[in-house]
Structure 1
Amino acid sequence: MEDILRPIYQERASQLNTLGVLLVEKKEKTTLTTDSFDVVLLIIVKEAENPVFIKHYTYDQKKAAMHVISEAQLEEWLLLGTNRKIFEWLHHARIIFDRNEYVAKLKTELEEFPFHGRKIKMGLEFAKLIRRYVDGKTLFENKQFLDAYNHVVHSLHHLARLAVIENGLHPELTVWRQIKQIEPEIYKLYEELVNSEETLEQRLELLFLASEFLIHSRTEMGSAHLIKVLSSKEYWMYNEMLNEEELRPYSVDLPVLLEYLIEKHVLEVVNVETKGQGVYHRCYRVNKKLS
């Protein structure tokens, strides 16, 4: 298959805009990594009109996919974790072309997982965890047990990913295999939720009690990135946070995270006068006892 694809990737490699060409081949007995394709050709470019461009090919009863992605899109995926396959592709791929060792340096950086990058990813994962946990608990209290169950499964998944990142690793597609070795306590919670013979209500009640401690114990670490950014000013209006480049990735999870951190006395509310009598701007600052 590589021989057949060579003219395609050689043409791309000859373009100055191309940073790297990688080849990911399907492993035996699994199609998870390559989305059922025999080969994925990953081409990273400096700039592109479309951040993602995909073509599919067939040859001799085999399938191949070509993904052309911009450097900016790749960096977004790596930061936000919104395309988890990209980590496996970069890890397992064979480098076909590498301009100025761009791909080699990228793979080294991913393996070393710099601490600053970990702090940001932990913050984003913690925000998603709090969103799912809070929404799940609200649904549980309203006796919407099936919907609560869905949120709890997701919250455990984010807790597992957070623990993996905390240990200096990137969460893989098979995150529960990782967490079984790294944090068996979280794995056991997941098993009890899924396999217990107790009623769904009883399972959820026990899980909320157990996971509350696990979440609380990670609050300082999970909020470290957010606190570092917010500490740069006396206080912040909400819209200022939305427009702060380092905080934009928190997106829709930010309001719930802020309220959780206020409840835990990590953040404080500051009321700033408006032109309207008795109406105040609700602003936020880091608890001065923590500074």
Structure 2
Amino acid sequence: MEDILRPIYQERASHSSTLGILLIEKRANDISITDTFDYILFVIVNEAEDAVFLKHYTYRDKKAALHVVSESQLQDWLLLGTNRKVVDWIQNGKILFDRNEYLSSLKKEISEFPFYGRKIKMGMEFAKLIRRYMDGKVFFENGQYLDAYNHVVHSLHHLARLEVIDQGFHPEVTVWNQVKHIEPEIFKLYEELVNSEETLEKRLELLFLASEFLIYSRTNIGAQHLIEVMETKEEPWTIAQLINHQELAHYAVDLSVLLEYLIEKNIIEIANVETKGQEVYHRLYHL
């Protein structure tokens, strides 16, 4: 099949904007990694009209997909974790074309997982974790157990991903397989939630008790990125300054809930600043 695809990728390699081309083959035990296609041609370019461009091909009983992705889109995926398959593609794909060792450097960067990128990703996962956990707790207290269950499962996923990132690994699509070996305690909590024969209400009640400690014990690593950003100036921060900060913008949607959690845990404090309104204050935040 590689020979059949050669004219397609050679044409792409001739473009001056092409940085690298990878070939990914479908794995018998994991067809989801290629979206059921037999082959993926993954082309990274430094500039393009569209951030993502796709083409599908058929040859006899085989099917292949061409993905042309801009470098900026790829970097967003890697930072935000919104397309986890690409980490697998870069790590395990066969290099067909590599301009100035771009792909070789990218493979090395992913395997080493620079700490700067890890801190931002941990901040994002922790903020999502707190959002899901707090919302789940409200649903539970209101007797809406199915909605509470949905949020708790998501919160455990974020807790698992946080743990994987803290250990220096990229969360894979099969994140629970990673967590099983890295942090069995979190895996066991997830197993008990899903497989327990207790009533749903009882399962949730026990999980909220157990996960409260697990989340709190990871607060320092989860909030480290936010704390380091806040340490860059001595004056208190407005919420507008925080959500519009270049790095915090990645998890701005969950920042208010995260701040409330950190206030509750005495990590962040509130500073009230007078307004023109009587007994109305601007609410500012500092460490």
Q: TM-score, normalised by structure 1?
A: 0.96
> Could you say which residue in structure 2 is the equivalent of 1:289?
none
> Could you say which residue in structure 2 is the equivalent of 1:266?
267
Deviation at 1:275, TM superposition (A): 2.8
Distance, in Å, in 2 between the alignment partners of 1:177 and 1:248 is: 31
> Could you say which residue in structure 2 is the equivalent of 1:152?
152
Offset from partner CA, 1:15-60 (integer Å, 9 cap, x none): 1111111110101233111000000110001012211111111111
* 1:1-291 matches, cutoff 5 A: 1-233=1-233, 234-286=235-287
Distance, in Å, in 1 between the alignment partners of 2:137 and 2:29 is: 39
Offset from partner CA, 1:177-236 (integer Å, 9 cap, x none): 111111111111011101111110000000000000000000011000010001112211
Moved over 4 A (4+): none
SS of residue in 2 equivalent to 1:177:
helix
Distance, in Å, in 1 between the alignment partners of 2:57 and 2:240 is: 46
SS of residue in 1 equivalent to 2:41:
strand
Distance, in Å, in 2 between the alignment partners of 1:86 and 1:165 is: 16
Look up the equivalent residue of 1:264 and give its one-letter code.
K
Deviation at 1:98, TM superposition (A): 0.7
Distance, in Å, in 1 between the alignment partners of 2:164 and 2:245 is: 27
SS of residue in 1 equivalent to 2:56:
strand
Stretch of structure 1 that moved more, 275-284 or 197-206: 275-284
Deviation at 1:4, TM superposition (A): 1.7
Identity among equivalent pairs (%): 68
Deviation at 1:274, TM superposition (A): 2.3
Deviation at 1:81, TM superposition (A): 0.3
SS of residue in 2 equivalent to 1:32:
helix
Distance, in Å, in 2 between the alignment partners of 1:277 and 1:100 is: 64
SS of residue in 1 equivalent to 2:22:
strand
Distance, in Å, in 2 between the alignment partners of 1:284 and 1:55 is: 49
Aligned pair count reads: 286
Offset from partner CA, 1:158-177 (integer Å, 9 cap, x none): 11111111111111111111
Look up the equivalent residue of 1:43 and give its one-letter code.
V
Distance, in Å, in 2 between the alignment partners of 1:30 and 1:115 is: 30
Distance, in Å, in 2 between the alignment partners of 1:270 and 1:87 is: 42
**Runs of 5+ unmatched residues, structure 1:** 287-291
Deviation at 1:153, TM superposition (A): 0.5
Deviation at 1:14, TM superposition (A): 1.0
Distance, in Å, in 1 between the alignment partners of 2:62 and 2:119 is: 42
Deviation at 1:125, TM superposition (A): 0.7
Distance, in Å, in 1 between the alignment partners of 2:60 and 2:165 is: 41
Distance, in Å, in 2 between the alignment partners of 1:227 and 1:47 is: 35
Distance, in Å, in 2 between the alignment partners of 1:219 and 1:169 is: 19
Offset from partner CA, 1:54-95 (integer Å, 9 cap, x none): 111111121111111111111111011011111111111001
Distance, in Å, in 1 between the alignment partners of 2:76 and 2:252 is: 14
Look up the equivalent residue of 2:213 and give its one-letter code.
F
Deviation at 1:279, TM superposition (A): 2.0
Look up the equivalent residue of 1:145 and give its one-letter code.
Y
Offset from partner CA, 1:228-255 (integer Å, 9 cap, x none): 0011122111111121111110131111
